[in-house]
């Protein structure tokens, strides 16, 4: 029998493992993925001849316009809401605040650039995902990133590797992280972590056990309410501080290119810092390039690949260009600018929203954080379930049990470990997906 290690040695090994994981994430997210994501987006843009960016007004009119005029099917609205729920999480609030705090106002410009690149990537993912979609005799669908890796590249290994990483990422980033966020927010109001985890797990179980119909209905009901509530709050604050908006936009463009105060020249270091931080935070927020978008859209009742690409591009636009921009402008137009150096994203958000909402700011942010996190938990589940079905030929019931357990466990776990683990899973699922996009980019021209 092995002797049990002293607690101090076990703790030391745990710290070392965490540091190794953080170092790998640094390589993955700071150097490897930004290069691969940008390269894949540029290659796809060339093959697509600028779509969907050169037809952006048409994309928004055909997607948002059809929702407003009830021209799209109920199934399509539910898929759009579910995909939006999966992408619009706490990254829209905390991630944007972190980008502005560490990269300055110019980071927002590079988040916009990441949104443009992201729109190209998700458009390409959905074109290929729908093209290589396969429907089995029992009605189950294999498509999205799994479809083009398996049937486009004819690689069982890459399809299986992607599915495994995505399934773990769904349990991690889609479940553990969001549950942890809900718990940390609720604890500030005196709600214990175990109670918060139990309530979250029960609500998740009640919604997800109803299948795709209930998941879609819950997302279709929750997302308009949540987006409307949050954007209304941001709109009130921006209206109050409207006189500061022109100066803020000037600052955004100046700092984006490393231009210091008048007469001080250009700083290459400032340029690289804002560029890297803006791109990373934008990618984290809209999840473009991970392959999750195409997994959600493969259940569409439409056989038009280009239309699913347009819906996916509209989702990235809503996530980064609308919501992240609203968050950043609220922060940058708030009075008393020195608070940007406070080093606390939660405090930064609270300070900015308190400037207009006063004592109601804390409650408003708490409600938005909890609802964003809960919506993400609902939106990520179909991705994990689809990957589980591909890997094991079924087993969705078992995956649901693990998902509910993770919803409870996330409320009790260490946020530092949870975030490090989930960043790794997200990055690993992006690698085979980007490889597949680069390899199959030539086939995009046929649909371009």
Q: What is the DSSP string of 349-386?
A: HHHHHHHHHGGGHHHHHHHHHHHHHHHHHHHHHHHHHH
Q: What is the pLDDT of residue 358?
A: 77
Give Dmax over CA atoms of the chain in angstroms.
72
What CATH number is given to the structural domain containing 252?
1.20.1740.10
Is the residue at 17 inside a domain? no
State how far the Cα of 104 lies from the Cα of 97, in Å rounded to an integer: 10
Domain residues for the domain of 176 are: 51-439
| pLDDT tens, residue by residue, 101-128 | 777 788 888 888 888 888 999 999 999 9
Is the residue at 421 inside a domain? yes
Whole-prediction pTM value?
A: 0.86
Share of the chain above pLDDT 70, in %: 85
Is the residue at 388 inside a domain? yes
Q: Which residues contact 55 (CB under 8 A, 6 or more apart)?
A: none
Average pLDDT on 19-45 reads: 83
Q: CB of 444 within 8 A of CB of 47?
A: yes
| pLDDT tens, residue by residue, 34-78 | 788 889 999 999 999 888 888 888 988 888 887 777 767 778 888
Average pLDDT on 173-194 reads: 83
Provide the 10 A C-beta neighbour count for residue 31: 11
DSSP, collapsed to helix, strand or coil, labels residue 346 as helix
Is the residue at 36 inside a domain? no
| pLDDT tens, residue by residue, 254-311 | 877 766 544 444 555 555 556 666 666 666 667 778 888 888 888 777 778 888 889 9
Look at residue 317 and tell me whether its pLDDT is greater than 80.
yes
Is the residue at 89 inside a domain? yes
State how far the Cα of 378 lies from the Cα of 186, in Å rounded to an integer: 19
Number of domains in the chain: 1
Is the residue at 28 inside a domain? no
DSSP, collapsed to helix, strand or coil, labels residue 398 as helix
Average pLDDT on 317-321 reads: 87
Q: What is the pLDDT of residue 157?
A: 94
Is the residue at 69 inside a domain? yes
Is the residue at 38 inside a domain? no
Average pLDDT on 332-337 reads: 76
| pLDDT tens, residue by residue, 362-401 | 888 888 888 888 888 888 898 899 999 999 887 888 999 9
State how far the Cα of 117 lies from the Cα of 122, in Å rounded to an integer: 9
* CA-angle at 80, arms to 78 and 86, nearest 5°: 100
- Give the pair of three-digit tokens for residue 175: 């479940």
* Choice between 145 and 142, residue whose per-residue pLDDT is larger: 145
């Amino acid at each position: 029998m092995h002797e049990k290690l002293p607690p101090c040695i076990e703790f030391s090994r745990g710290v070392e493992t965490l540091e190794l994981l953080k170092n790998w994430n640094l390589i993955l997210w700071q150097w490897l993925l930004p290069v691969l994501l940008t390269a894949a987006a540029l290659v796809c843009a060339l093959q697509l001849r600028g779509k969907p960016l050169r037809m952006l007004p048409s994309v928004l009119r055909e997607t948002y316009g059809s929702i407003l005029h009830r021209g799209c099917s109920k199934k399509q609205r539910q898929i759009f809401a579910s995909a939006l729920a999966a992408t619009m999480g706490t990254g829209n609030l905390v991630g944007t605040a972190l980008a502005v705090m560490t990269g300055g106002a110019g980071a927002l410009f590079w988040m916009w650039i990441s949104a443009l690149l992201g729109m190209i990537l998700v458009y390409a993912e959905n074109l290929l995902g729908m093209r290589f979609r396969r429907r089995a005799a029992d009605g189950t669908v294999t498509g999205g990133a799994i479809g083009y890796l398996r049937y486009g590249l004819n690689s069982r290994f890459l399809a299986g590797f992607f599915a495994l990483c995505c399934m773990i990422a769904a349990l991690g980033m889609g479940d553990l992280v969001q549950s942890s966020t809900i718990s940390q927010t609720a604890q500030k109001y005196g709600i214990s972590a175990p109670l918060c985890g139990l309530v979250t797990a029960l609500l998740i179980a009640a919604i997800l056990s109803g299948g795709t119909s209930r998941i879609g209905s819950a997302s279709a009901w929750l997302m308009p309410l949540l987006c409307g509530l949050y954007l209304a709050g941001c709109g009130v604050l921006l209206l109050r501080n409207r006189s500061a908006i022109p100066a803020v936009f000037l600052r955004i463009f100046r700092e984006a290119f490393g231009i210091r105060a008048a007469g001080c020249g250009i700083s290459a270091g400032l340029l690289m810092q804002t560029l890297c931080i803006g791109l990373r935070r934008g990618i984290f927020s809209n999840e473009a390039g991970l392959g999750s978008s195409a997994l959600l859209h493969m259940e569409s009742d439409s056989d038009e690949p280009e239309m699913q690409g347009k819906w996916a591009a509209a989702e990235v636009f809503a996530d980064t260009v609308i919501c992240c921009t609203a968050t950043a402008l609220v922060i940058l137009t708030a009075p008393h600018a020195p608070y940007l150096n406070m080093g606390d994203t939660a405090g930064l958000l609270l300070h900015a929203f308190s400037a207009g909402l006063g004592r109601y700011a804390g409650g408003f942010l708490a409600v938005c954080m909890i609802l964003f996190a809960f919506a993400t938990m609902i939106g990520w589940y179909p991705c994990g379930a689809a990957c589980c079905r591909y890997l094991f030929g079924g087993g969705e019931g078992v995956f649901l049990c693990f998902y509910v357990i993770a919803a409870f466990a996330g409320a009790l776990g260490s946020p530092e470990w949870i975030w490090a683990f989930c960043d790794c899973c997200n990055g690993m699922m992006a690698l085979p997906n980007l490889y597949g996009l680069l390899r199959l980019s030539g086939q995009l021209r046929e649909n371009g």
